[in-house]
Amino acid sequence: MPARKPTPQTPDEAGVSETLARYVVESRLADIPDDVKHEARRALLNYVGCAIGGAGEEGVEIAMRVIGPFSGERTSAVLGRRERLDPLNASLINGLSSHYHDYDDTTPKNYSHTTSPVASALFAYASANAVSGQDLFEAFILGFEAASRVGNSVYPGHYDTGWHITGTIGVIGAAVAIGRLRGLPLRNMIWAIGTATTQSAGLREQFGSMGKPFHPGRSAQSGYLAALLAEQGFTSGNYPIESPRGFAAVLSPSHDFSKITDGLGVDFDLRENTYKPYASGIVIHPTIDACSQIRAAHGLDLTDVESVQLTVAPIVLDLCNKKFIATGLEGKFSVYHAAAIGLVRGQGRLGEFTDETVNDPEIRRIRESTHAERDASLEDDAVIVEVRRKSGEPIRLSLDHALGNIHRPLSDAQLEDKFRDQARQHLTDGQIDDLIGLCWQVDTLDRAGRIAEAAVPKG
């Protein structure tokens, strides 16, 4: 039997989980800067719109049919649906629907979609329990920060190994957020983090299938459960993140714990959160944007397009190198489809990632005539596009930052437009107006559950 590694004892090895848990337990909303609070409102607005937008999709319908018979007391509303479930299962469905279209927010420094698992648990909880908007708002900020910082500590090795970071760290954020609402003391908060880390899961192999949005759903549910167990005295290891057998060492070939502890309570990852203008994997956004710009500027005759050459950052082909596809979900992870919809339609909303669109003959022809090569000198958010024409000189465009990037962020008004575009599938215009108002005022609401109730379709 190999020698057992010792429990961490040195200052560099020990105390990471406790430091993070102590911050969550002792933090106060009054100490969080106003710009971070505004970004949290933006994140929650975007999240609610995405959850409603995905609520009727096939994978969500399947999950509801399977889960429904096993639900406990149906005290929680499900965003965008008329059915109710118990809070744990409502967390799962909220997470599944909010990430279904891959339209939710992204933190580019670790490529996590942190809001989905954290907010999914919180709104399920708030629907079933008396909680103020201020308390939910604070719990969301702390859960987001905890999860994102743990993600930073293991990125990129963890992601490159094949883990889907949204699932693996989202469970920690959900546990922290629910634990904060339940008023867990320090010891129990460490246990909540520990029971969350031992449930960390999600594989990148699932990209382009229903398995990918399942990750934030399951992490929301599992994190919620971890907090409830810890509250009742269910123990975990005392060093769940930093132990030689803990989260970081087991799930990543490298880690840097200073990314968890440095600047805690001063620097906030919400400041670097971004919101998608296109309903797809974020690394193909530059291609959609650049090809849409070419279409708008040159009025292309698509029959004149002979081929398209893309030069992209390596991560693009690592994640989105699918050319011969048949479903809309696969299209969300195809840089070739991204080029085709940009040139043919000039946009990348929900309608560009349906099975019908993926199989449209014109879009398929452009997609299959597109070629991509990697260039390690390009930033992840950059692309070079060359459209080669039968009748003349090629059209070339180089783009440094896509729309929605931290350097070209969506405005509050654009986020509202995105919300409306998704929510109108299920809600009336009046409901949408009221719900947008509630999201902007979340931290002033007497009952945070009003948002979940307002997100239920009428009839």
Res. 459 pLDDT band, cuts 50 70 90: confident
Look up the pTM and report it.
Answer: 0.94
Whole-angstrom distance, CA of residue 403 vs CA of residue 410: 7
Instruction: Examine the domain organization and report whether 22 and 163 are in the same domain.
Output: yes
Instruction: Examine the domain organization and report whether 24 and 79 are in the same domain.
Output: yes
One-letter amino acid of 233: G
**Phi-psi sector, 183: left (phi>0), alpha (psi -120 to 50), beta:** left
Write out the DSSP string of 33-47. Answer: -HHHHHHHHHHHHHH
Is residue 308 one of the residues assigned to a domain? yes
Average pLDDT over residues 200-214: 97
Is residue 115 one of the residues assigned to a domain? yes
Average pLDDT over residues 210-234: 98
Instruction: Examine the domain organization and report whether 330 and 394 are in the same domain.
Output: yes
Query: Each residue of 130-139: pLDDT tens digit?
Result: 999 999 999 9
Instruction: Examine the domain organization and report whether 308 and 239 are in the same domain.
Output: no
Average pLDDT over residues 326-332: 97
Residues near 126 by Cβ (< 8 Å), separated by ≥ 6? 136, 447, 448, 449, 451, 452
- The CATH number of residue 231's host domain is 1.10.4100.10
Instruction: Examine the domain organization and report whether 189 and 54 are in the same domain.
Output: yes
Residues near 101 by Cβ (< 8 Å), separated by ≥ 6? 50, 53, 54, 57, 279, 332, 350, 353, 422
Res. 14 pLDDT band, cuts 50 70 90: low
Whole-angstrom distance, CA of residue 441 vs CA of residue 154: 35
Q: Are 446 and 133 in contact (CB under 8 A)?
A: yes
Confidence check: pLDDT of 310 > 50: yes
Which residue has tokens 């193909």? Answer: 284
Whole-angstrom distance, CA of residue 404 vs CA of residue 275: 6
Whole-angstrom distance, CA of residue 203 vs CA of residue 369: 30
Instruction: Examine the domain organization and report whether 179 and 302 are in the same domain.
Output: no
Instruction: Examine the domain organization and report whether 68 and 124 are in the same domain.
Output: yes
Query: Each residue of 252-284: pLDDT tens digit?
Result: 999 999 999 999 999 999 999 999 999 999 999
Average pLDDT over residues 73-79: 98
Please state, for a pLDDT cut of 90, what percent of the chain lies above it: 96
- The CATH number of residue 384's host domain is 3.30.1330.120
Whole-angstrom distance, CA of residue 87 vs CA of residue 125: 6
Is residue 42 one of the residues assigned to a domain? yes
One-letter amino acid of 302: L
Whole-angstrom distance, CA of residue 313 vs CA of residue 309: 14
Instruction: Examine the domain organization and report whether 72 and 211 are in the same domain.
Output: yes
Please state, for a pLDDT cut of 70, what percent of the chain lies above it: 97
Q: What does DSSP say about strands 370-374 and 305-312: parallel, antiparallel, or unpaired?
A: parallel
What per-residue confidence (pLDDT) applies to 6? 45
Is residue 10 one of the residues assigned to a domain? no
What per-residue confidence (pLDDT) applies to 13? 53
Provide the token pair at 286.
């530059």
Is residue 4 one of the residues assigned to a domain? no
CA 36, 103, 300, 365 torsion-angle sign: positive
Query: Each residue of 150-196: pLDDT tens digit?
Result: 999 999 999 999 999 999 999 999 999 999 999 999 999 999 999 99
Confidence check: pLDDT of 4 > 90: no
Is residue 429 one of the residues assigned to a domain? no
Instruction: Examine the domain organization and report whether 347 and 316 are in the same domain.
Output: yes
Res. 8 pLDDT band, cuts 50 70 90: very low
Is residue 408 one of the residues assigned to a domain? no
Is residue 329 one of the residues assigned to a domain? yes
Instruction: Examine the domain organization and report whether 120 and 253 are in the same domain.
Output: yes
Confidence check: pLDDT of 2 > 80: no
Number of domains present in the structure of the chain: 2
Q: Are 89 and 221 in contact (CB under 8 A)?
A: yes
Which comes out higher in pLDDT, residue 165 or 13? Answer: 165
Whole-angstrom distance, CA of residue 102 vs CA of residue 279: 6
Query: Each residue of 380-397: pLDDT tens digit?
Result: 999 999 999 999 899 999
Whole-angstrom distance, CA of residue 238 vs CA of residue 169: 18
From residue 5, give the alpha-carbon distance in Å to each of 150, 158, 195, 243: 22, 21, 21, 9
Provide the token pair at 212.
């990918």
What per-residue confidence (pLDDT) applies to 3? 44
Instruction: Examine the domain organization and report whether 271 and 289 are in the same domain.
Output: no
Give the residue among 410, 380, 452 at the shortest CA–CA distance from 133. Answer: 452
Instruction: Examine the domain organization and report whether 199 and 317 are in the same domain.
Output: no
- For the chain, the helix, strand and coil percentages under 3-state DSSP, each to the nearest 5: 55, 10, 35
Q: Which residues span the domain enclosing 381? A: 282-399
Average pLDDT over residues 325-332: 97
Give the residue among 300, 312, 311, 321 at the shortest CA–CA distance from 367. Answer: 321
Q: Are 202 and 169 in contact (CB under 8 A)?
A: no
CA 445, 448, 453, 454 torsion-angle sign: positive
What per-residue confidence (pLDDT) applies to 408? 96
